[in-house]
Each structure stands twice: as structure tokens, then as C-alpha cells.
């Protein structure tokens, strides 16, 4: 089996994690199988369920198999801020083996399918399969980039720009996991969730969404879907750089293979 065929088979895996890591590194069949086998302990949750609690103990690492989740924090006065949104294939609590206290809350934004993995297994697998270790580190680095972008968004963009920037980011991330069809994004967040992500009131979020609609940038389809009508202009409005999360170049040598 040549490399492109292999890559194809990895991309067809039914594990979102394998598909995602497969876009970053070139996993062997064995590596893909190992990653699959880690995810045997599957849990199903409904919207609103909390599976990691800020300040509580974190005994497992969670792999998102289907659905969306939010990492969030609350001020002492009870206001919620969503730190970042996790999409299928993302990992939460990868650091569980080093710090067994959670520093954020994680909750289901939609119906959720996730697997709870003993964090020691991740360490073990990382030791045995350097490419997986590299992939996981790559993941961590990407999370870092996304958090940086979130900071820029909250600190230096207007409400209008924040929404456009966020939608562009989600578009870009969903695109990579083949979940965009003709500009249609299924976003299982309420406007209040969106507001809590963008540091806005839900009322202001509603009004600014309407402006994006009126400007012909997006079209809201029912309660949980948004069609991006003009991704170029959306990126312009939100000052979002479409090339910000590139795949790893397959020709690029992967260092750190030990």
C-alpha cells in the first residue's frame, strides 16, 4: 500500500481523532489501530452535561468522537466565559497525567459522544509510537494558537468583528474535518453560548448577527445552522486569516521522532 492509499484509509477511519491526527502526521495502520483501541470506553452525554469541573479532579482524558463541547470558566459573580469550543476529534484534558486538578469546566454543547481514556495510556502510547507523540504535541500547539486567537478576538475586535472572526474560525476548522457542505455550518450553540464565547451580552450578539444577515454575509437556517454566503468577505470583516491553521506539509520532515 503506497502512502497516498494509506492516507486515504486513515482519512476514512470512523474515529474523528484518527482522521484529525492523520491530517497532521502520516499514521501507519498499526498506529491508527492503537489510537482506535484507546477509545473503547464510550460515553454519551446530552447538552448541558458537565464532564470536567473547574477545580475538581481530572482523572481521565476525553476524546471527542461526535458533537461539540465547551471549555468554560465562571467569575465568582457567576458570569460564564467559554474559553474555547471543542469539535469532533479534539481532545480535552490531555494534561491529566501531569496535573490532576482541572482548571476549567467542560460541558456538552450538543449531544455528545466521547471516550474517556486513562491518561497513562496516552503516555504509554506516546512512548511506543513517536509519531503519535508528535501528533499529540502538534494538537497541543494548535490549541495554543486557537486560544491566542480567542484572546486577540476578545481584546481587540468589536462585537461585529468578533462574530465574523469566530464564524470564520469555525468554518475553517469544520472544513478540515469535512463538516462543511456548500457553506452550511451546523452550529449546536444557542446565541447565549455564542455570547459567552465572545464576551458579549446575548442581546447584543443577536443584533450583530442580524447585521451580518442584513449585509448578506450569512443566512441563518433554523435554530442550529448557519450558511456562510461569502466566506471571503466574512474573513475580511473579522480580519481572519484563512491560512492560519494549515495542515502539516507532508514533505516536511517530522522531528521529535524519539
By DSSP bridging, strand 61-66 and strand 112-117 are antiparallel
Residues that bind DNA in the complex, under the rule CB under 7 A: 158-160, 190-192, 199-204, 206-210, 220, 222-223
For DNA, the closer of residues 113 and 208 by Cβ is 208
Q: Which residues of 205-240 are buried (b: 16+ CB within 10 A; e: fewer)?
A: beebbeebeeeebbeeeeeeebebeebeebbebbeb
| Chosen from DNA, a second copy, none, partner binding at 247 (C-beta under 5 to 8 Å by type) | none
CB closer to a second copy, 122 vs 171? 122
Site for a second copy in 98-117 (CB under 8 A): 98-101, 103-104
Using rule CB under 8 A, residue 247 touches a second copy: no
Nearer to a second copy (CB atom), residue 113 or residue 198: 198
Q: What does 28 bind: DNA, a second copy, none (CB cut-off 5 to 8 Å by kind)?
A: none
Q: Select from DNA, a second copy, none the partner in contact with residue 147, using the beta carbon and a kind-dependent cut-off of 5 to 8 Å.
A: a second copy
* CA R_g for the chain: 19
* Whether 139 contacts 91, CB under 8 Å: yes
Q: Which is nearer to a second copy, 113 or 119 (CB)?
A: 119
Nearer to a second copy, 12 or 103 (CB): 103
C-alpha cell at 105: 469546566
Backbone phi, then psi, for 70, in 5-degree steps?
A: -125, 135
Strand, helix or coil at 222?
coil
From 188, 172, 174, 189, select the one nearest 232 (Cα to Cα): 172
Candidates 49, 124, 179, 230; binder of a second copy (CB under 8 A) is 124
Please report whether residue 62 would count as binding a second copy according to CB under 8 A: no
**Maximum C-alpha span of the chain:** 58
- What is the C-alpha to C-alpha distance for residues 129 and 121, in angstroms, rounded to an integer? 12
Among residues 44, 46, 127, 224, the one that binds a second copy under rule CB under 8 A = 127
Instruction: Decide which of DNA, a second copy, none touches 29; Cβ closer than 5 to 8 Å per partner kind.
Output: none
Please choose which of DNA, a second copy, none residue 97 contacts, taking the beta carbon within 5 to 8 angstroms, the exact cut-off set by kind.
a second copy
Amino acid at each position: 500500500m503506497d502512502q497516498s492509499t494509506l492516507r486515504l484509509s486513515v482519512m476514512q477511519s470512523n474515529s474523528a481523532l484518527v482522521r484529525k491526527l492523520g491530517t497532521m502526521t502520516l499514521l501507519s495502520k498499526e498506529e491508527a489501530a492503537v489510537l482506535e483501541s484507546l477509545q473503547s470506553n464510550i460515553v454519551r452525554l446530552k447538552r448541558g452535561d458537565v464532564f470536567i469541573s473547574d477545580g475538581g479532579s481530572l482523572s481521565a482524558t476525553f476524546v471527542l468522537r461526535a458533537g461539540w463541547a465547551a471549555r468554560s470558566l465562571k467569575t465568582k459573580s457567576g458570569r460564564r466565559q467559554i474559553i474555547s469550543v471543542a469539535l469532533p476529534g479534539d481532545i480535552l484534558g490531555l494534561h491529566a497525567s501531569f496535573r490532576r486538578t482541572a482548571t476549567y469546566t467542560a460541558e456538552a454543547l450538543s449531544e455528545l459522544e466521547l471516550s474517556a481514556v486513562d491518561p497513562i495510556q496516552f503516555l504509554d502510547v506516546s512512548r511506543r509510537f513517536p509519531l503519535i507523540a508528535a501528533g499529540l504535541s502538534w494538537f497541543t500547539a494548535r490549541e495554543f494558537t486557537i486560544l491566542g486567537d480567542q484572546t486577540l478576538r476578545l481584546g481587540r475586535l468589536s462585537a461585529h468583528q468578533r462574530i465574523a472572526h469566530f464564524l470564520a474560525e469555525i468554518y475553517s476548522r469544520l472544513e478540515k474535518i469535512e463538516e462543511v457542505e456548500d457553506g452550511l455550518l451546523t452550529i449546536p450553540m444557542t446565541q447565549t453560548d455564542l455570547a459567552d464565547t465572545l464576551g458579549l451580552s446575548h442581546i447584543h450578539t443577536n443584533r450583530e448577527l442580524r447585521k451580518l444577515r442584513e449585509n448578506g454575509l450569512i443566512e441563518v437556517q433554523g435554530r442550529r445552522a448557519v450558511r456562510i454566503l461569502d466566506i471571503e468577505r466574512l474573513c475580511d470583516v473579522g480580519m481572519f486569516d484563512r491560512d492560519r491553521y494549515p495542515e502539516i506539509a507532508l514533505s516536511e520532515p517530522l522531528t521529535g521522532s524519539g
